[in-house]
A and B are shown apart, each in its own frame.
Chain A
Amino acid sequence: ELKVEQNPLFLSMQEGKNYTIYCNYSTTSDRLYWYRQDPGKSLESLFVLLSNGAVKQEGRLMASLDTKARLSTLHITAAVHDLSATYFCAVVYGNKLVFGAGTILRVKS
């Protein structure tokens, strides 16, 4: 059974700093998603990563995938307050979409 682990689970960072969220998964998969969730809201799709070495960037967020290491990273560059949210990775396993526990990100002014 697939296990998806994110770390850290909680991240408090200063504006302007850089940080990385990690997503490890236990079984081979060919698709990984990153989502953002604001309090009381639904999930917003950020990235879908399909192949080894895939890198995608949108604004201050950059996601990468290493299928050999079963690891994806979400890198935050020069954080701003608007990035405060919970970030989830989700991995396709057979016909299922399995989520990590989420990383709560708080960016302090």
Chain B
Amino acid sequence: NAGVTQTPKFRILKIGQSMTLQCTQDMNHNYMYWYRQDPGMGLKLIYYSVGAGITDKGEVPNGYNVSRSTTEDFPLRLELAAPSQTSVYFCASSWNTEAFFGQGTRLTVV
């Protein structure tokens, strides 16, 4: 049982480049989330989804996009990367009382 899988684990982007952070869960959870965690800080919600085809903005959505075409996958797209997007990104899934996190993607924009 893999749980929540994020790829890649590390990435360095140049300013203005784009990339997609992948997140897959195998627990059939309806709810999925993307967070960013800046150094020494808490987690801020970027986007979330309550099921396939349904997404909504969180606290800090600017500069990001998401899609949810299947229950399993919830990719996060960065368009025109900026240094302010340097962070660790966590994907999570939940249903009922369970909530699990992926291992994170450490992104540096230079």
Q: Mark A residues whose CB is within 8 Å of B.
A: 31, 33, 35, 41-43, 45, 48, 50, 88, 90, 95-102
Contact = CB atoms under 8 A, between A and B. Distances in A.
Given A95-B31, A95-B50, A43 B45 contact: no
A42 B97 contact: no
A101 B39 CA distance: 12
Contact of A42 (B41, B48, B98, B104): B104
Secondary structure at the A interface, as helix, strand, loop or mixed, is strand
A35 B92 CA distance: 13
Given A88-B42, A95-B31, A96-B48, A45 B102 contact: no
A109 to B, nearest CB: 24
B74 interface: no
A97 B97 contact: no
Secondary structure at the B interface, as helix, strand, loop or mixed, is strand
Interface residues of B, number: 23
Given A33-B99, A42-B101, A45-B100, A97 B50 contact: no
B45 A98 contact: yes
B92 A99 contact: no
Nearest to A100: B42
Interface of B: 31, 33, 35, 41-45, 48, 50, 56, 58, 90, 92, 94, 97-104
Nearest to A44: B101
Interface centre among A31, A41, A43, A88 (most CB of B within 10 A): A43
Given A42-B104, A45-B99, A97 B42 contact: no
Contacts of A31: 97
18 contacts: A31-B97, A35-B101, A41-B104, A42-B90, A42-B103, A43-B90, A48-B98, A88-B42, A88-B43, A95-B31, A95-B56, A96-B48, A97-B48, A97-B99, A99-B42, A99-B43, A99-B45, A102-B42
B108 to A, nearest CB: 14
